[in-house]
Amino acid sequence: MSTRLEDLPIRDDLRGMVPYGAPQAPLPVALNVNENTHPVPQEVADDILDQVARALGDINRYPDREFTQLREAFANYLGEGLSRDQLWAANGSNEVLQHLLQAFAGPGRTAMGFAPTYSMYPLLTRATGAAWIAGTRDAGYGLSAESVSSQIREADPDIVFLCAPNNPTGTPLTIDVIAAAYEAARGIVIVDEAYHEFAPREAASAVTLLPGRERLVVSRTMSKAFAFAGARVGYLAADPAVIDALRLVRLPYHLSALTQAAALAALRHAPLMLSMVDEIVGQRDRISATLEALGYQPHESWTNFVLFGGVSDTAAAWQGLYDRGVLIRDVGIPHHLRVTAGTQAETTAFLDALASVGSAA
């Protein structure tokens, strides 16, 4: 008889938890995990391969523990007068968030987010021994300065997560709300800008709020706009003292030499890597317009995906699309599904399949 998880002496606070589990299936059109489905441009791929090959020459040595060049490159990319002492990076933004929770949360402490939001926040929180507090959003999934401030003051969390724009809803989060949240909080405020590059060009980043706010952290990723999901590179900007705190909890040499080389090469080609963003935004808006014409209710999105309501039977609609070779996401919101904006061909395949499913309420 095989051993079950519950038979092991696992931590009591981990019992009953379910791991992150976005479906993975070899379908022709996979639009369920908000990847950038465009391939990395060939000239960028060639440069990455060249830099990785160079790094292999010293692969017998440990990598730069402080990933100094990479932090410098991220500071240059974000601008706003940032220095490398204000930058941190890890294997995907989830590890960046984990480092923050390890340093500032843990047993006896709390972290708070505003549901529905990124499903990894409570998982990471509980895995580090802290308790999760779920705040609420308005009917359209928005957040106001007044609502956020009052909820934070009442809950008094050690960490506040603000997803800007929000996943899984795509909802914008304005700078005034972030500033109000910071003023109401006594602990660390994390602004997760994983999808910021897909917001309107005039939308300000929370990076502009960093001066004078030593408890504010702005997290980013290369997975989305940079089409780098498989490389696992996330980063954050914060006060240098926050960076010092993260050094206490990170594993030694946590970013491999190969990862550092690949990320540096990609950042050198940032304008080209980001050139596909406008096309993705165009497909996102095309999806929203067509969904509305088909009788669904797409929500406003500043990301590379669209959450849409008005689905009479989400399970049947999801299965119907799956059977037609299209994989999207049921995020657990009644009568809603979420779809990533892919290439023009992928978007067409999704819209054609959805029209044939015909599941609008």
What are the 10-residue block averages of pLDDT along the chain, 361 residues in total? Answer: 86 84 80 93 96 96 97 97 98 98 97 97 96 97 98 98 98 98 98 98 96 98 94 97 98 97 96 92 98 96 98 95 96 97 97 87 55
Q: Where are the domains of the chain?
A: 23-39+275-357, 42-268
Q: Give the pLDDT confidence score for residue 2 in this predicted structure.
A: 85
Top CATH class of 42-268 equals alpha beta
Residue found by looking up tokens 């890890």 in the block: 90
CB 47 within 8 Å of CB 268: yes
Domains 23-39+275-357 and 42-268 share a fold: no
Give dist(CA 210, CA 219) in Å, integer: 12
pLDDT value at residue 6? 85
Residue 12: predicted pLDDT: 87
> 3: how many CB neighbours lie within 10 A of its CB?
7
Residues with Cβ within 8 Å of residue 44, at least 6 apart in sequence: 265, 266, 269, 272, 273
Instruction: Please report the pLDDT score of residue 333 as a whole number.
Output: 96
Q: How far apart are CA 357 and CA 221, in angstroms?
A: 34
Partners of 191 in the beta sheet? Answer: 162, 218
d(CA 168, CA 34): 10
How far is 26 from 201, CA to CA, in rounded Å? 35
Contact status, residue 176 vs residue 143, Cβ threshold 8 Å: no
The CATH superfamily label for domain 23-39+275-357 reads Aspartate Aminotransferase, domain 1 (3.90.1150.10)
User: For residue 342, how far is the Cα from the chain centroid?
Assistant: 17
Radius of gyration of the chain (CA): 21
CA atoms within 13 A on the CB side of 294: 24
Closest to 297 measured CA to CA, from 260, 262, 334, 325: 334
What pLDDT is recorded for position 17?
81
pLDDT given for residue 267 in this prediction: 97
Give the per-residue pLDDT at 193. Answer: 98
**Mind spelling out the 3-state secondary structure of 198-224?**
HCCCCCCCHHHHCCCCCCEEEEEECCC
236 token code pair? 């954050």
Q: 305 near 339, Cβ under 8 Å?
A: yes
Alpha carbon distances (Å) from 283 to 224, 301, 325, 342, 347: 15, 12, 19, 7, 7
Identity of residue 184: A
Compute the distance between CA of residue 328 and CA of residue 351 in angstroms, rounded to an integer: 12
User: Which amino acid belongs to residue 211?
Assistant: P
Question: Pairing between strand 216-221 and 110-115?
Answer: unpaired
Torsion sign over Cα 165, 221, 210, 110: positive
pLDDT at 101: 98
> Is 211 in contact with 179 (CB distance < 8 Å)?
no
